[in-house]
Structure 1
Amino acid sequence: MSTQLSTPVNRQSVEALSTSKGEPAWLAELRAKGAELAETLEWPKPEKVRIDRWNLNAIGNHQQQDALASPDELPETVRELLAQTSAGLVVQRNSSNALKQLSPELQAKGVIFTDLETAAREHADLVQKHLFQAVAQDENKLTALHSALWNGGIFVYVPKNVEVELPLQGLLYSDDSAAAFVPHILVIADNHSRVTYVDNVTTAYGAGEQQPLAKQMIVEVFVKPGAQVRYATIQHMADNIIDLTIRRAVIENDGRMEWIVGDLNDGNVLSDTQSILRGKGSTSDAKAITVGNNSQQMSLTTGAVHIGRSTESSMVTRAVMKDKATAIINGITKIEKGATKANGVQTEKVLMLSPKARGDANPILLIDEDDVKAGHAASVGQVNVEQVYYLMSRGITKKNAERLIIHGFLAPVVSEIPIEAVQEQLQRLLERKLEG
């Protein structure tokens, strides 16, 4: 079944979409409100990147997909990403649920791992309370449109005092550039729980030219008091995809959030990852890497907002730029009034492999409190010639010496990926993008 989504989106089109899905009234109204907001709001305006020149209205049509009987039916390029050991698996095809699995042991403990549409019907109390609370509908045109159009998505809920030892894995892929790709991820870790969630967002196109498609993805994570969440994601989509992704976590007393982000798309990218340290003693650790090639334009922002007392944040971003690629990399640490004893540090490093590439590293500290610590470091440069000469003196070719240095430059993030199959895929993607 295909539901036509008009451009611009309007209330009638999203009401038809909601009706076709049999959604609850509260969700139908949320979609309708999003469509109305989108008519009045503007697109985000990231610094030095004119995303309004991108084809943002290429949102495609909603196309319901058939479920898969087993992972064996997945395309080979997607199937090879499956973890050998995981606690659960949810697969989304073109923002439509294709497959979901969860171990009986975790089901018995009350863990919920399913598609977000099913969760909205079966666990409305949890979903309605949290959906679009970390990322507001009316923040900008992107968030409003997403609230009207999201499909499929993934929902994770871990009850109080439950620790999920093995990672939960999500595979989200597009194999039809005419189909809308608008997933929403909602993760809730209740008091003193612990979970690792890993997703891989990719394309699996066959032969033939693909039309432009604007992929919209929003991630909301809620870390309750004493809980710990590790969220790892590898984004790798073809050059016809415009990637628009917002990730946000709200962390309460003594909670901990870890982000591990690999932005390795081939098309233009707007990526915004932020932790809101609301509770006393809450902590956040964010690591991100990207490799830009060809004529890619990228706006990559990592941020932490300190609200609670004695909060700590760490942010590390590393980028490698080739060809004529452009990246604006922002690290934003905001310490609000009253966030005493806060400590925020950030590092942005860009490695330039071409004289025509551009990489701007912008560390930003916004501090409204006196009794705090904050620091930053930023660098943009080429491969260290002395390091290359040293390796060559040990019998290594210049090309391999540069490869070793680049991989060492990215290793602090790559090594943090908690699923071996996904880590191996990240290594292959890095090789492919670096080799060109």
Structure 2
Amino acid sequence: MSVDTGLLFEQNVVETLSQSQQEPEWMLQLRLKALKTAASLHLPKVEKTRIDRWNFTSFQPYTPAESLSGLDQLPEEIRALLSSEAQDDNVIVQKNSSPVYRHLQSELAEKGVIFQDLASAVREHPELVKRYFMTDAVRVDEHRLTALHAALWSGGVFLYVPRNVEVDLPFQSLFWAEGTEVGMLPHVLVVAEDNSRVDLVVNFVSAKNGTTGVNNSIIETFVGPGAHVRVATVNNMGDQIVDTTYRRAIVDRDGRMEWIIGDLGTGRIISDNTTHLKGDGGYVDVKTIAVGTDETRANITSTVHHWGKSTESDINARGVMKDQASSIINGITKIEKGAKQANGQQAEKVLMLNREARGDANPILLIDENDVKAGHAASVGRVDELQLYYLMSRGISRQEAEKLIIFGFLSPVLSAIPIEALRDRLHGVIERKFGR
């Protein structure tokens, strides 16, 4: 039976979940405190989007799944989300609440790299996980959804890269929901020590057979001095899923953080991405693509806080809406007092393909220092009928003409994605969405 976690549900639900993952006492106490806190907290404040009627709580708190001996046991449409060499890559697959497959190259383990589901890491590396888990990047008591996540998280990923270790191949994780009233609450924790380098690709997907439920995910990334971290996330959940993802990063001195975000679902979406440039010389680049069809309702926000001197940020967000889809795309650059010589740039653009589609782009600059640079651009518009006419006059169908215009609009973000396999994957998903 489902649990309405909007009310105070039984404490034994959390205790049973913690015991099933053989967690230490400190994690159980964190969960119980979060459970108690959740009932007194409000839902997050989401700019220009009403979410009080969204169903964040009708889900099974834990839905187990059987382990897989190999990726060939995955359904073809799910397996296609991983690279063709995934058997030899570093990959974790989670179905609903359970990690079902993991592979880490032995030479990386010998260098001290840790790549495992977070539940295992809590048992095997408790002090390391405890140092970072929901202590700084994301607080348990931010709002009701973060508290519910802290109380009920399961599975997830822990990726730790030691000092001076550079990893060429990207790590991959896939979170797959299937069933009714599924609760998928993975927590991804990335720690990159000084002068390390790592890429992580995170996929969230639901099966196409009427899967219902909630995805309440958190990604925390800690970029050490001189480290370079790239995290790419692709959310492609169905229309019966309430999909909330909170991505957070803290960047130390001369660190470099890159976010690549594809929000391609058709349900109810909250996509929140926040980076804190704490150290001098830190840099963050945020590339976001949002594609809405049917009755998608999405709120997508990218925020950068400049704390250190000579920090730089660039937010580039593009959205395409079709049918009755609606999206709000927010960009927020906050330059704090003392962040001298900071440079924050952003651009948000939305393209609507028909009269019923809705989009809004909101660039926001908040500046508390004088010796800085900052700029923004925003546009919202519909497909140019003249462009369509020009293409169709050369024998191209209206559908193909629309697709050419869409990919031309998205090209500044798509073409800048440095991971070829991810770029091709995003292109394929978008092609299918507009090829109906």
TM score, norm. by length of structure 2: 0.95
Question: Identity across aligned pairs (percent)?
Answer: 51
- Per the alignment, residue 248 of structure 1 pairs with 248
- Return the letter of the residue paired with 1:153: G
Give the AA of the match of 2:229. Answer: V
Cα shift at 1:49: 1.1
Residues 1:238 and 2:232 aligned together: no
Which stretch of the first structure deviates more once superposed, 285-294 or 256-265?
Answer: 285-294
The answer on whether the counterparts of 1:61 and 1:178 sit within 8 Å (CA) in structure 2 is: no
Letter of the 2:317 counterpart: T
Give the conservation status (yes or no) of the 8 Å contact 1:83–1:420.
Answer: no
- The CA distance in 2 between the partners of 1:265 and 1:177, in whole Å, is 17
Distance 1:96 1:412 in 2: 37
Shift of 1:150: 0.5
- Using the alignment, how far apart are the partners of 1:174 and 1:397 within structure 2? 36
Q: Which amino acid aligns with 2:118?
A: L
Deviations along 1:328-364, whole A, 9 cap, x unmatched? 1110000110001000000000001111211111100
1:17 offset after TM fit, Å? 1.6
RMSD of aligned Cα (Å): 1.8
SS, match of residue 257 in structure 1: strand
Contact 2:182 2:214 in 1 (8 A): no
Q: Does 1:196 align with 2:169?
A: no
Higher relative contact order (CA 8 A, sep 6+): 1
Partner of 1:25: 25
Instruction: Indicate conservation of the 8 Å contact 1:10/1:36, yes or no.
Output: no
Q: 2:168 aligns with which of 165, 168, 176?
A: 165
1:47 is aligned to 47
Deviation by residue 1:368-396 (Cα, 9 ceiling, x = unmatched): 11111110000001223444444445554
Give 3-state SS (helix, strand or coil) of 2:65's partner: coil
- 1:67-146 equivalence runs, <5 A: 67-85=67-85, 87-132=89-134, 133-146=136-149
Is the contact between residue 232 and residue 418 of structure 1 (CA under 8 Å) also seen in structure 2?
no
Tell me if 1:154 matches 2:190. Answer: no
Q: What residue in structure 1 maps to residue 383 of structure 2?
A: 383
- Aligned equivalents of 1:418, 1:72: Cα separation in 2: 27
Measure how far apart 1:243 and its partner are. 0.4
- Mark the CA change 1:284 to 1:352 in structure 2 (over 3 Å): closer, same or farther: same
Q: Match of 1:325? A: 325
SS of the equivalent of 2:257 reads: strand
The answer to whether the Cα contact below 8 Å between 1:75 and 1:204 also exists between their aligned partners in 2 is: no
**Equivalent residues, number:** 431
2:230 alignment partner, SS class: strand
Amino acid at match of 1:120: V
After TM superposition, give the deviation of residue 6 of structure 1 in Å. 5.4
Question: Who is 1:220 aligned against?
Answer: 220
Structure-2 separation of matches of 1:373 and 1:68:
51
**Distance in 1 between the 2:230 and 2:49 partners?**
30
What stretches of structure 2 of length at least 5 have no aligned partner?
none
Does 2:346 correspond to 1:346? yes
Displacement of 1:168 after TM fit? Answer: 0.6
Q: 1: CA distance between counterparts of 2:241 and 2:422?
A: 21
SS in 1 for 2:183: coil
* SS at structure 2 position matched to 1:381: strand
- Uncovered stretches (5+) of structure 1, i.e. residues with no partner: none
- Taking the aligned partners of 1:80 and 1:388, their CA distance within structure 2 comes to 33
Q: Is the 8 A contact 2:4 2:59 kept in 1?
A: no
CA distance in 2, matches of 1:332, 1:83: 33
Q: For the residues of structure 2 that align with 1:400 and 1:68, how far apart are their CA atoms?
A: 40
| Equivalent pair of 1:4/1:62 in contact (CA under 8 Å) | no
